[in-house]
Amino acid sequence: MELQELWQSVLGELELQISKPNFQTWLKNSFLSDKKDETVCLSLESAFAKEWVSNKYHKIILKIIRNFDPEIKDIIYQIQPSEEKTKPTISPHIKKLEADILSKTLDFPNYSIDPKTNLNSKYTLQNFVVGANNELAYSAGLGVISEVGRKYNPLFIYGGVGLGKTHLIQGIGNELRKLSKNKINIRYVSSETFTNEVINGIRMKKMDDLKTKYRKVDVLIIDDIQFISGKEATQQEFFHTFNALYENNKQIIISSDRSPYLLSTLEERLRSRFEGGMVADISYPDHETRVAILKTKMDSQGKEIILNNDIFELISQKFPYNIRELEGALIRLLGMLKIRKLAPTIENTSAILDEINNHRIRMISPDNIIATVVEFYNTTEKEIIGHSRKKELVKPRQIIMYLLREDLKNSFSTIARKLGNRDHTTILHAYNKISKDIIKNKMLSQEINLIKEKIYNNN
């Protein structure tokens, strides 16, 4: 069968199995560009279509293709934008504005930080959307509010970058502040600030002041505790503050990017204190939650641009990542629509979101992934490429193989070549193993999430 004919047959089947908008959005202008040995190459219109199709539809496409041609064992994906899209010429000034929108860290307006509590009023429980990903952490927060210092103490909330930890713990603080009419003494502090205060306290011989300051607090909220692990003096001071507050039934709320169990350089006694309270995680939001979050974010915007429901759905589909990125996509989209003076139609929005996503994905390369994993596990690229079977090396090596396949859709033989000319069945084996283990082994899946966050957020 000719490639073109084969693909037409596959599309015919696929059209029956996936929704029409999805079919239209992702597979329009797709074609098979090549077949080598047991692998076909599928060309898609954009980097985002590539990521989406290969993540969501790989299995089903492969299954259908194999019905027509059982010889095919794998699909690799490539981007080949259709030629028809001719871009209008853009002035350098607009180009610069657009580049800023795509690459800068953007945020909705900051509101104000209350000097007494250090809380930012933009984080409230009212604008915190509750979904399956955070409901345990949220209801633990409500528990804390109803019985400050007695129920769930300490409250330890953990989860990856940009999933809402800071929002939730500050929201709890703001709610307590409101309910108590400012009577409760609340203090929010990042663990970096806390560390600096301890260092300065020691240097200026003002530790007593610092001790008094924190021991007057009724509710201590400390963000990103992972930063104090490994810093001995800070841990010591935090431990003493913690004990003093805890013994007086004062409430402590902590956030961390990983569970207490994974805080490897945390003093044991601190860790067991954390584990003795309430530990709740926040994970990735599902589609419905993402849409709800987008709508909430729009409520705080001017009414200059109005997005209808389909657009929210589209943003959520194209940005199934953390909430900070989701929010970033929305802000960038609004910026681009404004600069280009475009109406927020599905076509315009879709094209802009693809641009935003292409920008994001272009930053990630195999070397990126390798370097991040190597750093995470404190090893070297040389050791990874080498053939030692030491446990400390086998695991990161397999994770690299897994990520190159899962995230970049490299073919097994490409990965094999990249990693010291191994046999491609080794890669297949590693990929299958990690895919399976990730489901059973929570620690592994958390580690891989942390690694992915580092890969995607360091850009």
Contacting residues toward Mg ion, per CB under 5 A:
166
State the minimum distance, in angstroms, from the CB of residue 319 to ligand ADP.
12
Of the candidates 47, 144, 293, 451, which one interacts with ligand ADP according to CB under 6 A? 293
Region from 27-35, 44-52, 88-96, 163-171 binding ligand ADP, contact rule CB under 6 A: 163-171
Query: Residue 16 class from Cβ within 10 Å (0-12 exposed, 13-18 middle, 19+ buried)?
Result: exposed
Query: Which of 284, 346, 294, 287 lies closest to 317 in space, CA to CA?
Result: 287
Nearer to Mg ion, 166 or 283 (CB): 166
Of the candidates 141, 154, 162, 201, which one interacts with ligand ADP according to CB under 6 A? 162
Region from 122-130, 199-207, 301-309, 437-445 binding ligand ADP, contact rule CB under 6 A: 122-130
Of the candidates 175, 327, 406, 407, which one interacts with ligand ADP according to CB under 6 A? 327
Residue ranges in 195-224 that form contacts with ligand ADP under rule CB under 6 A: none
Residue 129 binding result from Mg ion, ligand ADP, none, given CB thresholds of 5 to 8 Å by partner type? ligand ADP
Q: Which residues contact 220 (CB under 8 A, 6 or more apart)?
A: 187, 189, 214, 241, 245, 250, 251, 252, 253
Cα distances (Å, whole numbers) of residue 22 to 280, 310, 337: 35, 12, 23
Nearer to ligand ADP, 153 or 226 (CB): 226
Region from 46-54, 55-63, 161-169, 207-215 binding ligand ADP, contact rule CB under 6 A: 161-169
Rule CB under 6 A: is residue 301 a binding residue for ligand ADP? Answer: no
Count of other CB atoms within 10 angstroms of residue 53: 22
Query: Which of 83, 68, 73 lies closest to 14 in space, CA to CA?
Result: 68
Q: Using DSSP bridges, classify how beta strands 39-44 and 31-36 pair: parallel, antiparallel or unpaired.
A: antiparallel
Query: Residue 382 class from Cβ within 10 Å (0-12 exposed, 13-18 middle, 19+ buried)?
Result: exposed
Nearer to ligand ADP, 331 or 434 (CB): 331
Nearer to Mg ion, 134 or 357 (CB): 134
Rule CB under 6 A: is residue 164 a binding residue for ligand ADP? Answer: yes
Rule CB under 6 A: is residue 167 a binding residue for ligand ADP? Answer: yes
State the minimum distance, in angstroms, from the CB of residue 344 to ligand ADP.
21
Residue of minimal CB distance from Mg ion?
Answer: 166
Rule CB under 6 A: is residue 161 a binding residue for ligand ADP? Answer: yes
Rule CB under 6 A: is residue 428 a binding residue for ligand ADP? Answer: no
Of the candidates 35, 324, 359, 424, which one interacts with ligand ADP according to CB under 6 A? 324
Rule CB under 6 A: is residue 250 a binding residue for ligand ADP? Answer: no
Region from 48-56, 62-70, 270-278, 320-328 binding ligand ADP, contact rule CB under 6 A: 320-328
Nearer to ligand ADP, 56 or 324 (CB): 324
Amino acid at 274: F
Region from 208-216, 321-329, 354-362, 431-439 binding ligand ADP, contact rule CB under 6 A: 321-329
CB 53 within 8 A of CB 61: yes
State the minimum distance, in angstroms, from the CB of residue 359 to Mg ion.
24
Residue 76 to residue 408: CA distance in whole angstroms = 10
Q: Which residue has the tokens 């693809």?
A: 354
Nearer to Mg ion, 54 or 166 (CB): 166
Binding region for ligand ADP (CB under 6 A): 127-129, 134, 159, 161-167, 293, 296, 323-324, 327
